[in-house]
Structure 1
Amino acid sequence: MNDEPVTKMNKPVLAALAGSILLASLGVSIATVALASLARVFSVSVQQVQWVVLAYLLALTAAIVVAGRMGDLFGSRRVLLIGLAVFTLASGACALAPGLDWLIVARAVQGLGAAVLMALPLSIAKGLVAKERLGTAMGLLGTMSAIGTALGPSLGGVLIGAFGWRAAFVLLLLCGASMLVLTLTGIPRTKIPSARITRSSTRPLIPLAVLRRPGVATSLAMNILAGAVMMSTLVVGPFFLSFGLGLSDAQTGVVMAAGPIGAAVSGVPAGRVVDRFGTRRTLLGGLLVASAGLVCFAVLPRLIGVAGYVLALVLVTPGFQLFLAANNTAVMANATEEYRGLLSGLLGLSRNLGLMTGAAALPLLFACLLGTHGLADSSAQVIGTAFSITFLSAAGLCVLAVALALLDQRKRGPDASSVAQTGSHNG
């Protein structure tokens, strides 16, 4: 079968791609709930056991661009199958780990497989999904990432509570094996032009010409900013809910779950908005909605408590889903066959860099605003002020992304490259 896109969304293809992204996201979040159990079982410190998560994330981030490029050179389906096999075997090694060192090494290998699962689905979707439905497909893939992140802690907690920490990795093993079968049967084979391999073998991993293409560098920069801002709600938010509003751990978990649930619900509709109205208007609208939501974070929770926090989430989450669906579609819609895996990998890399930046920089700002007293000795008013300033700063980053989007649109002129034009799908 050739690389011509199908005229409609191919359900087996999308199921395989969505499952791959969900599996990679689940690999991050399901391990976080196992850390306390691992610390007890192996009698190690929190700093040591954190490497179970860090090894996975570092390997994923380091390898994601290479994974995308390998898909360009040797065929996305073939490399995706290899990635699934590596992830599955590494999951089995994690489940059998006799000690923490073994587990950390196995998690690093698992992260290498996850890099493939994160990098290639966008590239394969570009090749096999009709252009007028590409936005919907990108929205679906974004939704799977959110579902994986949301499902991991709750599912992992149940399994670990009932069967022990090894059960979490047995689940990943079984899911990986299932995805191997689904990918083998669901994604058609594609021919790899020999000229592509010969021509590409002498080129650098990231040719500068790719980054100079209209809008690519801007889209990657906006992706970094958005990732950093999204992480602020995941990292700083729980501190405010617990210490600023006095919620219990269980109550904080319930409130925080509203974000991933909202992302899961809004992902596919966001993709349909892209198909309907085009990438540029949807991207700009999503960033503006997210900016408004971040300002609400800075104001509403201090005025009306938990209800204000949830209302802010209701704005921020769909706003970022609109942005992600539009930004991913804008980059992938006009990607050439030769570099679509590379661009998909760069999107994943920029998002991960943003998440890591947000996990480090914004909590540091929050801690500095608290002063020398820290969370335990600070009053609710001081914590609330620090929270508000932190989220106003996050809103500033989002406004910077808006400025980049406007500047890029001004340079490129009319929305000629949108996946869809208004009115093109009324039939």
Structure 2
Amino acid sequence: MHRIVIVGGGAGGLELATRLGDTMGRRGQAHITLIEKNRTHVWKPKLHEIAAGSMDMADHEVGYLAQSHWHHFTYRVGQMTGLDREQRLVKVAPYLDDEGVEVAPARDVPYDTLVIAVGSQSNDFGTPGVREHAMRLESAADALRFHQRMVNACIRAHSQSEPLRPEQLHVAIIGAGATGVELAAELHRTTREVVAYGLDRVDADKDIQLAVVEAAPRVLPALPERLSTATEKLLKNLGVAVHTSGKVAAVSAGAVHLADGRVLPAELIVWAAGVKAPDFLKDIGGLETNRVNQIVVRDTLQSTRDEAIFAIGDCAACEWKDVQEGRGARDHGTGVKIVPPRAQAAHQQAKHLLKQLRRRVKGQPLQPWYYRDFGSLVSLGEFSTVGSMMGGLVSGMKGGSLMVEGYFAKLMYQSLYKMHELALHGWVKVVLDTLARSIVRRTEPHVKLH
């Protein structure tokens, strides 16, 4: 059978593996293999909720072994490290457990068609001290680590007899894009709920301080200015310190140093400014990559130097044709507008590639993919949701956008996650899981306390 190997089990990779398994895999038309270094999947736009403690990861994670068994594809744990294009082999590193014991050896996985969907990671732009002193939200493990440190910081402050240090219980979030803003809003609520569970020596309004630092002149620079202004006003009303036009010069233990000389003391520092594809992708197997390590692809999502290799999601640099004023697209120094690294892009690419891989196995020509920008939505927790919906989603609007806020925007935001769940599980399981979560939520704390 034709061997289709997908590397990366994020939003695009897991959706593609599931749908290919349900069709070509189940019918014996192709053998589908998913290579992923993690054992479970969590939708990446939900990481800020896990970090803040407003979502219990155990209720939302998807086990790759179970998913592969139910949907007729093969899951192999491991991380891609190299590529042999002549032999058509994916190089996979040995997988070690937390104690350093080898679970799976290094191996080569053969393919006839390869889809690379390894996502993205934070880009610190070489800022001194970021690697050593700032946390990132690149994975579920990162989010859990931040949450545990946040809860421990509250318990430590409640237990100690001496006065709080200047940086103690201060959180600095570097980057006021969607992730940074969403995390700040969620933390404002969850930190207060945590201390309400018996940590009465901590004054949430006085002791817990949140700060957001953004190099651009305003928060949410990718959204229309009116929504950016409204979001900044809401954050300030919550007591979040917003530092716009604040370029970070360095990060040290317990402080963020800005280029203008200001120093922001903070016990917990989160870097949420900028993304890039994983470093191992740089010129991997001789493929064309850009300066942020993304694999350059054609409009068919095939790499420019190998028709058997595709790339989707954040790790793919695909030209955005029919760009309207360049909204949301990013220029990586080549002068070409590319599709922005968003979950909606990965979802659209996986859906398109499902049909195209069937055509490839049959020897038929591939059709081009065109990105449809449905806009951006940013959740501010229980306080609000803001965003812009593009003309492709709003009937009667061509080339324009509709700014949305409040309850309607919140419903639209929640629907994005439901679309992802539907792609993985189908209607029956999504309805039952949603009902079960709503019932359990009535009997448990609304914030994770451990």
TM above 0.5, yes or no, is: no
Larger Rg: 2
Bigger relative contact order (CA 8 A; separation at least 6): 1
Of Structure 1 and Structure 2, the greater helix share is in 1
